[in-house]
Amino acid sequence: MSRFALPAFTALVVLFTIAPLLVLMFSSFDDGRFFRFPPRDFSLRWYHAAFASVEYRSSLLNSAVVGLIATGISVTFGSAAALGLLRGAARSRATLEMILVAPLTLPLVIWAIALLQIYAWLGIGGTLWGLVLAHATFTLPFSVRVMLATFASIDPGLELAARSLGARPWRAFARITLPLALPGLATSAALSFFISFNDVIVSTFIAGSSWITFPVRLYSQLRGQGIDPTTMAIGTMIIVSILIVVGLTELFNRRTLRA
Amino acid sequence: MRSWDNDGFATTGTSARAVIERAQTSWLLVPGVVLVASVFLAPFLLLFAMSFWSQPEGTLLVDPSPTLGNYQRIFSDGFYLRGLMRTLWLSVATVLISLILGFPVAYWIVRRARRLRRLVTALMLLPIVCGALLPTLGLVNLLSPLGIINGSLRSLGVIDRAIPLLGTQFGILIGLVQAFLPLMVLPLVAVLDQVPRSLEDAAMSLGARPAQVWRRVVVPLAARGALAGSVLVFCAALTSFVTPQILGQGKIATFAAMTWQQASLVLDWPFAASLAMVMLMLIGALGVSVAVLRRSLGQRL
Amino acid sequence: MTPYLKLRDVTKTYDSAVALSGVGLDIARGEFMTLLGPSGSGKTTLLRIVAGLLTPDRGTLVLGGDDMTARPAWERDIGLVFQNYALFPHMDARTNVGFGLEMRGIAGAEAARRIDEALEIVSMGEYGTRHPSELSGGQQQRIAIARAIAIKPRLLLLDEPLSNLDAVLRQSVRGELRELHSRTGLTTIMVTHDQVEALALADRVALMEAGKIVQIDTPERLYDQPATAFVAGFLGAPPANLMPLAPHRAPGVVSLGGAEWRPEGVAAACLAGLDRAVLLALRPEALRIVPTDTTGAIVGQLRAVEYLGGERLAHVEVVGAAPETPTVCVRIGHAPPEPGQPVGILPDAVTGLFDRETGAKSALPPKGA
């Protein structure tokens, strides 16, 4: 095998993985109503349309509200659970961790079908709180995983050192562990938010007519009318904001650890 | 025998962690565990029960007297069985292709990436963070008759008529591999990270050529990761419905898409539940066989 | 005189393994005490209990007249230097050193003065604004020491302070620790598994084995008069030879691992009246290689010679001994005969006799009895 075969292969596979997103971004600048390659004209037409559309704006807002609340729950519960797993009794750790990351291992579609019935009984199908509850649940494993890795990477001796220097346990945690965990908290928040924001799999089952998120609207539109180029522009903006947030988190990460 | 003494306060951390009070931190687990147990796990019990209920045709009222009718319908109706077979083959193909594409990538990330590691890992994670729809949206423009692939080939004069990609199983397969490849790469990276490089160097110093090093050392040691990744990709592909529905243009029904249809369009929830149970049982069977396989692997590794 | 630090009956069990059993220790004010022992002997556990980071199952701890047993770590005023230094990575050196002062509500000029003072003691005055990641291992350790002494601790604890330093640095830091101790006069407890460190630095050494202190003594006494076979077999590089010894029917003869030996001189005086099977401790430097026909010599065969630079270690197999008998290690200066040759070993001194089962010092009946 030549020296360049492996890097070249890797580059191709990575390109393949992100190609759809690149195509999406590229085609959002195509002026035509129906995308065709090579494009005839480029314009920002669909971006203007995106900013002008009230319908899309309200569904995007819905997604953001669900995402923010769910992220808050996911990160708090997830960080607490990660700490509990790391510092709690070791005997039941494996079982508890398995429960906490279950939404990552069991397919969400299957769960969503059961949730549909339960939400109907509880009368929270298609409501904000129904969505928040579901989104907080399936984003929780991401927070747990990230925070487990984060807390595990922080030398517990640091907190002990703080105690030996006169810090009470709570103060030692707040002054030492918490600041060092900030990059991890930022990562899990970003991850939870965007996964919630972009979720269609669960939301399409439990979204009613009152609280429609952007992906749910997009999905029903795709099945019915085909692609509206406006959504390409919106999708591009979502991807760009993801990249910006990831970049900022990375920067923050490096600054905090100064390594 | 555990040693209490040799590694100081924090080189491994476990002993220092023991110092921080145990009992007082257990309550931290309560909110998360309660949330998952009640909102996530409990519904699976209901799903099981629901799959034995029925919904008389033409009504939306559920009859909770237990019946095997739903399952009889699935296994006697060729429509569902064919859908199941089609989905199984698509899932297996997705796993195999992901394995072939993912293994070298994981190896490169672990051994060669250096500074690029974080970037490439982030790029591989991007499709997960973007959800199922955005990449699918891009794939449509990539695969459509006027899309990038057909458009390029046509301008190069390779073809005059568009190759059908959208609405074919091949198109769906591309979408599935693209969506779930990260699920294969990440566990492989995790496992390969644990394999010390010196093992490969040792094999080479004993006269193994690079290909032999791969076959005799790297691949066997990464088998656990490949197994974990394969299970994840298989489950994801088996239960995916958004990608197949959009890329299949509604022409190719996968099992999960049928389930979605029953739940969201036909509104026959008990039947949807039994379809979901079939998928769950397939996954359960897979889980059991993998556990057995792992045990036999575990004896050697 | 009442001891400054008094430990009584300190016992600690992890799950089911006993880490410390009934440890008692007295330390005088200003003393430099070293806890020495192999991995798993309980020395770090003991240090953590003193620091208040572990709660003992039983026992008491009194420091300067105050019962500390139930007092949490943050109220003990005990400075602790961690093995890996445990510097806070998100704070610069000054903030690290000032952390203990911050916790005590000391701020402003008073804090700045004490931080400067502490940094000065460890000669790190110019490095205050650096972050731990910008400091070398040796510099990090100095900051860790400054942080521990900035709180004016009642006791300074050092956990394996030299283990993360390279060999060259270790030498100089050893000297600096000694100087730090004499300058600050702080009562200091150091944990180490390295006997050279322990012997070189400490006023007294507490040697630990399996959760117990087996001997507390000055380095000299510990080396010359080991209390147990374990102590004799632990101290020294190489440590003392521990040879199985038993009485023999013939008068004036003993059985060394099954081989007959007729000791003379010092050895004979020590072994007169041997009435039971014991372990004989012989320091390698208290043995000489002599011709086999020398009176009082143990007859052996030279197995191997290790050259250590300036001196050699000869490994001699006792002729006629049972196969499981260890070879005798002899420290010699000059070039020995070729390996394989028969040689004699003549002891100049006997380090001790120990019970074969318990390892405790065996007292023989008085000489001439």
ipTM score assigned to the predicted complex: 0.91
Subunits in contact with chain B (3 or more CB pairs closer than 8 Å): A, C
**Is the pLDDT at C153 greater than 90, yes or no?**
yes
**Is the pLDDT at B298 greater than 80, yes or no?**
no
What would the DSSP string read from start to end of A93-147?
HHHHHHHHTHHHHS-HHHHHHHHHHHHHHHT-TTSHHHHHHHHHHHHHHHHHHHH
Check residue C64 and give left, alpha or beta (phi > 0: left; psi -120 to 50: alpha). left
Neighbouring CB atoms inside 10 A of B151's CB total: 20
Task: Read off φ and ψ for residue C35, nearest 5 degrees.
Answer: -95, 115
**Is the pLDDT at A226 greater than 50, yes or no?**
yes
Beta carbons of A179 and C79 less than 8 Å apart? no
Contact C93, C124 (CB under 8 A): yes
Beta carbons of B40 and A111 less than 8 Å apart? yes
pLDDT of residue B12: 34
pLDDT of residue B16: 44
Q: Alpha helices, DSSP H only, in B194-247?
A: 197-205, 210-213, 219-238, 242-247
Beta carbons of B269 and A96 less than 8 Å apart? no
How much is the average pLDDT of B253-261?
A: 92
**Is the pLDDT at C129 greater than 50, yes or no?**
yes
pLDDT of residue A259: 47
Beta carbons of B6 and C40 less than 8 Å apart? yes
pLDDT of residue B266: 87
| Whole-number Å distance between alpha carbons of C33 and C188 | 6
Task: Read off φ and ψ for residue C352, nearest 5 degrees.
Answer: 170, 165
**Is the pLDDT at B14 greater than 60, yes or no?**
no
First-to-last alpha carbon distance for chain C, in angstroms, is 40
Instruction: Give the residue among B54, B47, B58, B48 at the shortest CA–CA distance from A117.
Output: B47
Q: Characterize the bridge pairing of strands C5-14 and C58-63.
A: antiparallel
CA distances from A47 to A33, A170, A218 (A): 13, 49, 16
| Whole-number Å distance between alpha carbons of A190 and C314 | 67
Can you name the CATH fold of B77-300? MetI-like fold (1.10.3720)
Which residues fall within 8 angstroms of residue C341, CB to CB, at 6 or more apart? Answer: C301, C302
Instruction: Give the residue among C44, C122, C46 at the shortest CA–CA distance from C84.
Output: C44
**Is the pLDDT at C1 greater than 90, yes or no?**
no
What are the tens digits of pLDDT across the range A73-117? Answer: 999 999 999 999 998 766 788 899 999 999 998 899 999 999 988
In one-letter notation, the amino acid at residue B18 is A
| Whole-number Å distance between alpha carbons of C264 and C53 | 55
Instruction: Collect all residues of chain A within an 8 Å Cβ-Cβ radius of residue B22.
Output: 87-89
Collapsing DSSP to helix, strand or coil, A30 comes out as: strand
pLDDT of residue B11: 33
**Is the pLDDT at B24 greater than 70, yes or no?**
no
Token code pair at residue A155: 């030398």
For chain A, what is the radius of gyration of the CA atoms? 22
How much is the average pLDDT of A35-54?
A: 89
Mutation for testing the C interface, residue in A158, A159, A165 having most C CBs under 10 Å: A165
Neighbouring CB atoms inside 10 A of C233's CB total: 18
pLDDT band at C268 (very low <50, low <70, confident <90, very high): confident
Mutation for testing the B interface, residue in A10, A218, A222 having most B CBs under 10 Å: A10
The listed range with the strongest mean pLDDT (A36-40, B177-181, C364-368) is B177-181
Token code pair at residue C181: 């101790």
Q: How far is A194 from chain C (nearest CA, A)?
A: 29
| C105 → chain A, closest CA residue | A166
Instruction: Collect all residues of chain B within an 8 Å Cβ-Cβ radius of residue C39.
Output: 3, 5-6
Collapsing DSSP to helix, strand or coil, A212 comes out as: coil
How much is the average pLDDT of B136-144?
A: 93
pLDDT of residue B13: 36
| Whole-number Å distance between alpha carbons of C272 and C287 | 19
Mutation for testing the C interface, residue in B2, B3, B5 having most C CBs under 10 Å: B5
HSE value, Cβ hemisphere, 13 Å, CA-based, for A129:
4
pLDDT of residue A71: 98
Chains A, B: CB contacts under 8 A, how many?
296
Instruction: Give the residue among A248, A138, A243 at the shortest CA–CA distance from A186.
Output: A248
Beta carbons of B146 and A80 less than 8 Å apart? no
Collapsing DSSP to helix, strand or coil, B184 comes out as: helix
pLDDT of residue C111: 95
Give domain status of residue A22, yes or no. Answer: no
Q: What percent of chain C has pLDDT over 90?
A: 62
Q: Is the peptide bond before C238 cis (omega within 30 degrees of 0)?
A: yes
Instruction: Collect all residues of chain B within an 8 Å Cβ-Cβ radius of residue A169.
Output: 20-21
Point out the least confidently predicted range of B10-19, B52-61, C148-157. B10-19
HSE value, Cβ hemisphere, 13 Å, CA-based, for B100:
6
Collapsing DSSP to helix, strand or coil, B208 comes out as: coil
Using the structure block, give the residue that is written with the tokens 């998100």. C90
Instruction: Give the residue among A245, A237, A254, A252 at the shortest CA–CA distance from A24.
Output: A237
Subunits in contact with chain C (3 or more CB pairs closer than 8 Å): A, B
| B48 → chain A, closest CA residue | A114
Instruction: Collect all residues of chain A within an 8 Å Cβ-Cβ radius of residue C74.
Output: 163-169, 172
What are the tens digits of pLDDT across the range A166-194? Answer: 999 999 999 999 999 999 999 999 999 99
Beta carbons of C86 and A166 less than 8 Å apart? no
Q: Alpha helices, DSSP H only, in chain B?
A: 14-19, 30-35, 42-50, 69-76, 78-111, 117-129, 133-143, 148-155, 169-193, 197-205, 210-213, 219-238, 242-247, 255-261, 269-300
Q: Which structural domain, as residue segments, surrounds residue A181?
A: 41-258
What would the DSSP string read from start to end of B39-72?
IIIHHHHHHHHHTT-B--TT----B-S--SHHHH
Contact C191, C161 (CB under 8 A): no
Q: Is the peptide bond before A38 cis (omega within 30 degrees of 0)?
A: yes
| Whole-number Å distance between alpha carbons of B186 and B193 | 11
pLDDT band at C365 (very low <50, low <70, confident <90, very high): low
CA distances from B11 to B17, B145, B237, C84, C267 (A): 11, 60, 42, 7, 47
In one-letter notation, the amino acid at residue A158 is L
Q: What percent of chain C has pLDDT over 70?
A: 98
Beta carbons of C44 and B19 less than 8 Å apart? no
Q: Characterize the bridge pairing of strands C241-247 and C298-307.
A: unpaired
Beta carbons of C76 and A164 less than 8 Å apart? yes
| Whole-number Å distance between alpha carbons of A120 and A61 | 24
Collapsing DSSP to helix, strand or coil, A198 comes out as: coil
| C45 → chain B, closest CA residue | B5
Instruction: Collect all residues of chain C within an 8 Å Cβ-Cβ radius of residue A161.
Output: 80, 82, 86, 88, 147
Q: What angle in degrees, to the nearest 10, is found between the helix axes of A5-27 and B169-193?
A: 130
For chain B, what is the radius of gyration of the CA atoms? 24
**Is the pLDDT at A162 greater than 90, yes or no?**
yes
pLDDT band at C333 (very low <50, low <70, confident <90, very high): confident
pLDDT of residue B165: 92
Beta carbons of B4 and C37 less than 8 Å apart? no
Subunits in contact with chain A (3 or more CB pairs closer than 8 Å): B, C
What are the tens digits of pLDDT across the range B144-175? Answer: 998 999 999 999 988 888 899 999 999 999 99
Q: How far is B13 from chain C (nearest CA, A)?
A: 11
| Whole-number Å distance between alpha carbons of A241 and C302 | 78
**Is the pLDDT at B180 greater than 70, yes or no?**
yes
Beta carbons of A246 and B123 less than 8 Å apart? no
**Is the pLDDT at C337 greater than 80, yes or no?**
no
Using the structure block, give the residue that is written with the tokens 């002990």. A160
**Is the pLDDT at B17 greater than 80, yes or no?**
no
Instruction: Collect all residues of chain C within an 8 Å Cβ-Cβ radius of residue A181.
Output: none
Instruction: Collect all residues of chain A within an 8 Å Cβ-Cβ radius of residue C72.
Output: 163, 168
Give domain status of residue A1, yes or no. Answer: no
| C157 → chain A, closest CA residue | A164
SS (H, E, C) chain C: CCCCEEEEEEEEEECCEEEEEEEEEEECCCCEEEEECCCCCCHHHHHHHHHCCCCCCEEEEEECCEECCCCCHHHCCEEEECCCCCCCCCCCHHHHHHHHHHHCCCCHHHHHHHHHHHHHHCCCHHHCCCCHHHCCHHHHHHHHHHHHHHCCCCEEEEECCCCCCCHHHHHHHHHHHHHHHHHHCCCEEEEECCHHHHHHHCCEEEEEECCEEEEEECHHHHHHCCCEHHHHHHCECCECEEEEEEECCCCCCEEECCEEECCCHHHHHHHCCCCCCEEEEECHHHEEEECCCCCCCEEEEEEEEEECCCCEEEEEEECCCCCCCCCEEEEECCCCCCCCCEEEEEECCCCEEEECCCCEECCCCCCCC
What are the tens digits of pLDDT across the range B193-220? Answer: 998 888 988 888 888 888 888 888 888 8
Give domain status of residue A247, yes or no. Answer: yes
Residue A231 burial class via C-beta count within 10 angstroms: exposed 0-12, middle 13-18, buried 19 and up: buried
Contact A155, A222 (CB under 8 A): no
Beta carbons of A258 and C84 less than 8 Å apart? no
Collapsing DSSP to helix, strand or coil, A42 comes out as: strand
Contact C328, C243 (CB under 8 A): yes
Beta carbons of A161 and C74 less than 8 Å apart? no
| B16 → chain C, closest CA residue | C53
What are the tens digits of pLDDT across the range A196-208? Answer: 999 999 999 987 7
pLDDT of residue B5: 36
Beta carbons of A258 and C131 less than 8 Å apart? yes
What are the tens digits of pLDDT across the range C239-266? Answer: 999 999 988 888 888 999 888 899 888 8
For chain A, the average pLDDT equals 91
| C86 → chain A, closest CA residue | A158
Q: Which residues of C sit within 8 Å Cβ distance of B?
A: 14, 17, 19, 37, 39-45, 48, 53-54, 82-84, 86, 159-160, 163, 193
Q: What is the CATH number of the domain that holds A82?
A: 1.10.3720.10
Mutation for testing the A interface, residue in B7, B25, B36 having most A CBs under 10 Å: B36
Q: How far is CA B89 from the centre of its chain?
A: 15
pTM, to two decimals: 0.85
What are the tens digits of pLDDT across the range C220-240? Answer: 999 999 999 999 999 988 899
Contact A72, A132 (CB under 8 A): no
Instruction: Collect all residues of chain A within an 8 Å Cβ-Cβ radius of residue B64.
Output: none
pLDDT band at A250 (very low <50, low <70, confident <90, very high): confident
Token code pair at residue C63: 């420091």
pLDDT of residue C368: 40
Token code pair at residue A204: 């399409």
Point out the least confidently predicted range of A34-43, C23-32, C47-56, C116-125. A34-43
pLDDT of residue B8: 35
How much is the average pLDDT of C338-365?
A: 85
Give domain status of residue A11, yes or no. Answer: no
First-to-last alpha carbon distance for chain A, in angstroms, is 36
Instruction: Collect all residues of chain A within an 8 Å Cβ-Cβ radius of residue C133.
Output: 257-259
**Is the pLDDT at B15 greater than 80, yes or no?**
no
Instruction: Give the residue among C340, C186, C99 at the shortest CA–CA distance from A160.
Output: C99
Instruction: Collect all residues of chain A within an 8 Å Cβ-Cβ radius of residue C53.
Output: 160, 163-164
Q: Characterize the bridge pairing of strands C241-247 and C254-256.
A: antiparallel
Beta carbons of A257 and C82 less than 8 Å apart? no
Q: Give the dihedral of Cα atoms B266, B268, B271, B275; nearest 10 deg.
A: 50
Number of domains chain A is built from:
1
| C56 → chain B, closest CA residue | B19
